[in-house]
Structure 1
Amino acid sequence: MDVDPTVFRLAIFVLAIFVGYYVVWSVTPALHTPLMAVTNAISSVIIVGALLAAAASGSDGQLTGNILISKGAGAVAAALAAVNIFGGFLVTQRMLAMYKKKSK
C-alpha cells in the first residue's frame, strides 16, 4: 500500500513542529542571545533567496503567470525576512542591555 505524498509531507511537518518546540524550550536562558544572533544570520541567508526569486525572469525574457507569482512571492518573502532581521536585532540588543551593569 502506497502512502499519499501529501500525507507523508504533512507527517514530516508535524514532526518538525514537535522537534522544534522541544529544542527551543530546552535552551537555557544563557544561550538565548547567541541563538538570536544565529537566527538573524539564517534570516539574512533567506533574504538572499527571496531576492533571487523576486529577480526571476523567463528564459525568453517574457513575464508569464509563473514568473509573476515567483516575483510576488519573492517580494513578500524579502519583506517578511527584513522585518524578521530588524526585529531580531532589536530583541538581541534589548537582551544584551539586560546584562549591562546599572550605574547609580
Structure 2
Amino acid sequence: MTDDPIVWLTIFVLSVFVGIEVISKVSSTLHTPLMSGANAIHGVILLGAVIVTGTTDSTIAVAVGLVAIVLASVNMVGGFVVTDRMLQMFTRKRAPK
C-alpha cells in the first residue's frame, strides 16, 4: 500500500460512510447485543493502543497513543455500564421474604 495521505483519508472517509449505513439499519431489538459486541471490539482496540504506544519512541506518537488509550477506556467502560443498565431493565425483581 502507498504512504500517500490522500489514499488513507479516502479509506477513512469511505469507512465512516459504510459504518454509518450499517449502524443506521440495525433494529432497536438488536442494540443490546450489538453494544456488547462493540465493547469487546473496544477491548481489542484498547489492547492495540497500549501495545503500539509502548513500542514507540516518538513523543507525538506517545501523546496520541495516550489519548487513544483514554478514549478507548472511557468508551469501553461506558459501554459496559450502559449495557448492564439495559439488561437490568429485563430482570425480574425478587419478592421480599
Q: State if a TM-score over 0.5 links the two structures.
A: yes
**Which of 62, 73, 78 is residue 64 of structure 2 equivalent to?**
73
Question: Given the alignment of the two structures, is residue 95 of structure 1 paired with residue 92 of structure 2, yes or no?
Answer: no
Distance 1:82 1:28, change over 3 A: same
Structure 2 length-normalised TM: 0.76
Quick one: distance in 1 between partners of 2:84 and 2:61?
Answer: 34
Residue 64 of structure 1 is matched in structure 2 by none
5+ residue gaps, structure 1, are 59-66
Residue 42 of structure 1 is matched in structure 2 by 41
Quick one: distance in 2 between partners of 1:101 and 1:42?
Answer: 30
Quick one: distance in 1 between partners of 2:13 and 2:50?
Answer: 29
RMSD of the alignment, in Å?
2.3
For the pair shown, the structure with the greater C-alpha radius of gyration is 1
Structure 1 length-normalised TM: 0.72
State the 1:17 CA deviation: 2.6
5+ residue gaps, structure 2, are none
Question: Given the alignment of the two structures, is residue 86 of structure 1 paired with residue 77 of structure 2, yes or no?
Answer: yes
Quick one: distance in 2 between partners of 1:53 and 1:9?
Answer: 19
State the 1:100 CA deviation: 2.4
Quick one: distance in 2 between partners of 1:93 and 1:49?
Answer: 25
